Structure 1
Amino acid sequence: MEIFFSKEVQAGLDAARRDSLRKASRLRIDVNGVIYPVLRMWKTGFAVEAEDAPKLRGLVDLYDGANHLFQCLIVASEEEAGEMRYEFKRATAVAYAAALDFEKAADAPVGLISDGRAG
């Protein structure tokens, strides 16, 4: 059974749903210093409010609060129900330490103890 609402009622329901998503989500994207709140995110993309965001394309940074999660290459996918959806071409997790160019042994010492004498 399908239920049909008038355009005004459907628009009000959509606006209320977007407001609740915006308040519940801590996710946001940073595009050249401009911040856009992310309404929701899934494995292959995310959605932002259509009236806030232009049709973005290119490199963006995805944050959860103050935590930098991903550096993403995105393309605009579609606009539906007041949301602009974007798909990831690439989503690289942010690393806070430089990559090692050697294998670190599991039983390697954490530090060296010296008795203070020069060898």
Structure 2
Amino acid sequence: MSTFLSPEVQAGLDAARKQALKKSNRLSVRAGDRSFKILRSWNNGFSLDADEAPHLRGLVDMFDGTTHLSRCLIVASGEEGDEIEFEYKRTTEAADRQPLDFYRRPDAPIALLE
């Protein structure tokens, strides 16, 4: 049995694999007003589709659906096949409130009732 695939069949299989990765992963990166789906992610980086994403560099926001996860400083580290790989230089987790500039005791009152 031959394992040779014609270029058209191979291109179709690659497109189907890329589409399945996009559907299975909810993570996305937003740079300015443009948003890109993350194909794969790991501890110190992620990859985007080389056909859709430019060589991003700088500050981006990472989202899981509509939930803001973090703000990241990234740099493109290379290309592997049809994916561009990016590495984090710095990652700051997103918070739902402003950071305090003072220490709040755990037993501090929440409100003052009279």
Structure 2 gap segments, 5+ residues each = none
- Which amino acid is 2:113 matched to? I
Change (3 A) 1:7 1:83: farther
CA distance in 1, matches of 2:83, 2:20: 13
Shift of 1:58: 0.9
TM-score (norm 2): 0.86
Deviation of 1:54 (Å): 1.1
2 CA distance for matches of 1:96 and 1:5?
53
Q: CA deviation at 1:81?
A: 2.3
RMSD over aligned Cα atoms: 1.7
Deviation (angstroms), 1:16: 2.0
Which position in structure 2 is the counterpart of 1:19? 19
Q: Which residue of 2 aligns with 1:117?
A: none
For each residue in 1:61-100, what CA deviation from the matched residue of structure 2 results, as whole angstroms up to 9, or x when unmatched? 1111111111111111111121111111111111221111
Q: Matches of 2:45 and 2:86 in 1, distance apart?
A: 5
Specify every segment of 5 or more residues in structure 1 that has no aligned partner in the other structure, as ranges. 115-119
C-alpha displacement of 1:109: 1.7
Identity of counterpart residues, as a percentage? 48
The normalised TM-score by structure 1 is 0.83
